[in-house]
Structure 1
């Protein structure tokens, strides 16, 4: 299965529509039936999961079964699906739908008019629904220097900060690796994102620290979390290499990373963003939630 989020998100609607009462749906129902009720979690971590990683599971099923596993939120869900989350008492922990894509972002002025229009429309919707975090992206460098990228992002984002502050919505820029998955992406180091936060000077702009991506591009995960935590609003998981399960098959030790996050006083969400290799994806999700439940 592809681990490319861009392709996966495009296929979510089509993939869901293709499900019928036969074959695939039967397998999904079997997975749901076999999923055990959640055992008591410690309550120190707010657990979420990224929708795109389970694109072949109907959102209703993911919400119902995820709630049993201990999820309190679902990441990367837009307005059309918020009612489904609310039906199951789940939070839209990282809203999306205002971005153009991952490569055309705030670091390029030619996209500012479109981005400002879309984010200006989305910010009030996020607030009205009772949510806080709205994802955004730097975009690709396209030969821009760090300074030019910072300045362009500031020029665009500062036009949205008054609206975000008014509605108590936080625009959260995701850090992505540029070595492997997102070639040429500009916000590919924690220090780069932190410097952008400093230049903007608003509590309504923060970073999404994706542990998988930052392990690939810079390492020192625990040190960077501790050093830059004031600028981090959200976390994503993922096994390295491959962005699969965060268990003993990969190189990171997630219990230690979770403990480091907790020592910073973090109270937000940690969202599982691994692509399951196991046939029973919900059991795989359960295992990874428990690994992070420190």
Structure 2
């Protein structure tokens, strides 16, 4: 019969061996081993420009092509020619918004937003792109029902043009607990209700997994329940908004399998702030993790 000490040692050995097997692939990629050149094709990968602002846009484009990304998120008209030189697309265009805090929920901004979005919808369409981001704005004491009504009334002024030009507007879900205090579109059911009020296939939600883990949790069930309203995804690790590896609480392979199972045909863009010295290695690792 094994002694208490030997049992403890056996268990320790088993745990250590299992843990090493589990993390070995992640560690090898974190060390900079390249992502496989042939991705599986179930996920359309992208990366957010601002997370790698220390790289010139031309260099980020070259890196995107090396990894196998379809394009780059949150790129405005000024840099679209550079993307096209590298056969990439702006997977989520920006530049029409006033700011995150001044958005469609406040009628005082509607005239400016209608002008901005009319211009940018045409720019996006003329460039051959599809997605354009928008924001609810902050509550500033406004109740959610009033904000919902105001957003719908304003967005309906431009959604007809979006339908005509084949552009899809995406309102981003952001957490109001840590990063964006008082932001109105901070819950998936509220965003889904807005989609229902607008009633157009050209208005969707940008579901940011990092933000919604903070404000809602229950990420996989939420994705399953509201998938028809979601047109785009962003990733990042929780807490801290850093790498999506085993240093944080979300298990991205399961989340990605749930997204693929919904039949999602849009993009998944990496939007984490690299904490590791090898930032490109972190990006490659994130794409590998999400390529289910």
TM-score by length of 1: 0.87
Q: Residue in 2 aligned with 1:227?
A: 225
CA distance in 2, matches of 1:41, 1:121: 36
Three-state SS of the structure 2 residue aligned to 1:139 is coil
User: What displacement does 1:70 show?
Assistant: 1.6
Tell me what 1:68 maps to. Answer: 66
* Matched pairs, number: 261
> How far apart, CA to CA, are the structure 2 residues paired with 1:175 and 1:40?
32
Partner of 1:143: 141
- Does the 8 A contact of 1:74 with 1:93 survive in 2? yes
* Match in the other structure for 1:18: none
Q: Distance in 1 between matches of 2:216 and 2:164?
A: 35
Counterpart residue number, 1:261: 259
Residue from 78, 97, 100 that aligns with 1:99: 97
Whether the 8 Å contact between 1:38 and 1:68 is mirrored in structure 2 is no
Partner of 1:292: 290
Question: Counterpart of 1:75 in 2: which secondary structure?
Answer: strand
Equivalences for residues 7-86 of structure 1 within 5 A: 36=34, 38-86=36-84
1:274: how far off? 0.2
| TM superposition shift of 1:35 | 7.8
Cα distance in 2, alignment partners of residues 35 and 160 from structure 1: 46
CA RMSD across the alignment? 1.1
Structure 1 residue 39: deviation in Å? 2.8
Correspondence for 2:215: 217
User: Unaligned stretches of 5+ in structure 2?
Assistant: 1-31
Q: How far off its partner does 1:38 sit?
A: 4.5
Contact 2:43 2:291 in 1 (8 A): yes
Instruction: Please tell me whether residue 168 in structure 1 is matched to residue 166 in structure 2.
Output: yes
Give the conservation status (yes or no) of the 8 Å contact 1:35–1:65: no
Distance (Å, rounded) in 1 between the aligned partners of 2:113 and 2:33: 41
Given that 1:63 and 1:85 are in contact with CA atoms closer than 8 Å, whether structure 2 keeps it comes out as: yes
**Residue equivalent to 1:244:** 242
Larger radius of gyration: 2
Q: Give, in whole Å, the separation in 1 of the partners of 2:125 and 2:248.
A: 38
Tell me the distance in 2 between the aligned counterparts of 1:197 and 1:278. Answer: 38
Cα shift at 1:73: 1.1
Q: Is the 8 A contact 1:66 1:282 kept in 2?
A: no
Structure 2 Cα separation of the partners of residues 36 and 254 of structure 1: 19
